[in-house]
Every structure is written in structure tokens, then in C-alpha cells.
Amino acid sequence: MSELFDRIRNARGSLETLIGKLPGYKGYKEKEMRREADRLLREALVRDLTLQLDRLTALQARALEALGVTWMSDFAAVKTALQTLIDRVRYAPQGYAGFFDAVRVKEEALDALEAFDRQLLDVLPVLSQALDALEQALSDAPSNAPKLKTALEALSKTVANASALFAQRSKVITGI
């Protein structure tokens, strides 16, 4: 179990702790707390990814001012990919399954979902470094267009890798 899940569990009041000892309710409540931990983690990821998107938007404006429209399609493609990733993280399923659904979501799967989402935390510093490199390349851009192209391609690859990683998330629940 994760540190976030443990914090949520420890924050319960005495009445909630007492009710949690009822047969059948305890398992239900544990699942809900796991879903809540994953939701909080994804909200933090969305916030941090949005900050990186804001940086990219500022760099795009700087490139437009300094270089004109030449690089705008490249910037737009990366921005769209990053915004798509943010939306997928924001609206990702939380591991709910209906009573008659073919796929049952067990506690282990919910823990695996959270662990999977935690892997995206490792993407944030890589994304930030790619944006740093793009910023540096933009400073050198008028005289060094290949460096700007390389930096944009590296950023695009970083976002694509993060998206591919997140695309595998559904396998945690379905096993497919």
C-alpha cells in the first residue's frame, strides 16, 4: 500500500473507524480509499503537467515573436500531444466495476493502478529537462535551427513516451 493510502486511512474519524469494522463495509471502504489515493495522485500529475504545458506555451509565443510562423506547426503538435496526455490522466477510469461487470476490480489492481500512475511522476523531471533544452535552443535559434529542431523532436519523443506509458494503464485492470 502507498503512503498516500495510509494517510487517507489514518485521517478517518472514530465513527468511520467503528463503522469500518462492520463485515462487508471494510472491504468497500478500503477500495474507496485506494481510489481516492489514486485520484489525488492523478490530480497532482495533472497540475504538474499543466505547468509544463504553460511553459511550452510561453516558449511557443517566444518562438513566434523571434522566428515567425516557421516553427508553429512543430510547437502545436507537441502542445496537442501534451494536452491530450493531460486530459487522459485527468479523466482516466478510477477502477470502478459494476456488480455484473465481467471484469472485477480487486484491491491489488487498485494498488497497481496507483503504482502505475506513480511511474508518471518519473516523467515530470524528464519533461522539464526537455523543456529546458528547448528554451536553450530557442535562445540560439536564429543561428542554430538544427538545435531547435532536435530539441523539439526530443520534447515530442518525451511526451510520446509518457503517453505510451499511460496507454498501458488499462492493462492493469483488464489484464489484456
**pLDDT confidence of residue 112:** 73
pLDDT digits (tens, 9 = 90+) for 24-64: 545 555 667 777 777 888 899 999 999 999 999 999 999 99
* 133 contacts 151 by C-beta, under 8 angstroms: yes
At residue 144, the pLDDT reads 77
Residue 100's pLDDT is 37
Global confidence as pTM: 0.76
Closest by CA position to 83, among listed 46, 114, 58, 117: 46
Which is more confidently placed, 19 or 129?
129
Q: Which CATH class is domain 46-174?
A: mainly alpha
Among residues 5, 6, 7, 29, the alpha carbon closest in space to that of 17 is found at 29
Residue 60 confidence (pLDDT) = 95
pLDDT digits (tens, 9 = 90+) for 126-166: 999 999 999 999 988 777 788 999 999 999 999 999 999 88
What pLDDT score does 44 carry?
A: 92
Averaged over 99-125, what is the pLDDT?
Answer: 69
* Res 38: pLDDT: 76
Q: What pLDDT, on a 0 to 100 scale, did the predictor assign at position 103?
A: 43
**Phi, psi angles (nearest 5°) of residue 137:** -65, -35
* Model pLDDT, residue 169: 78
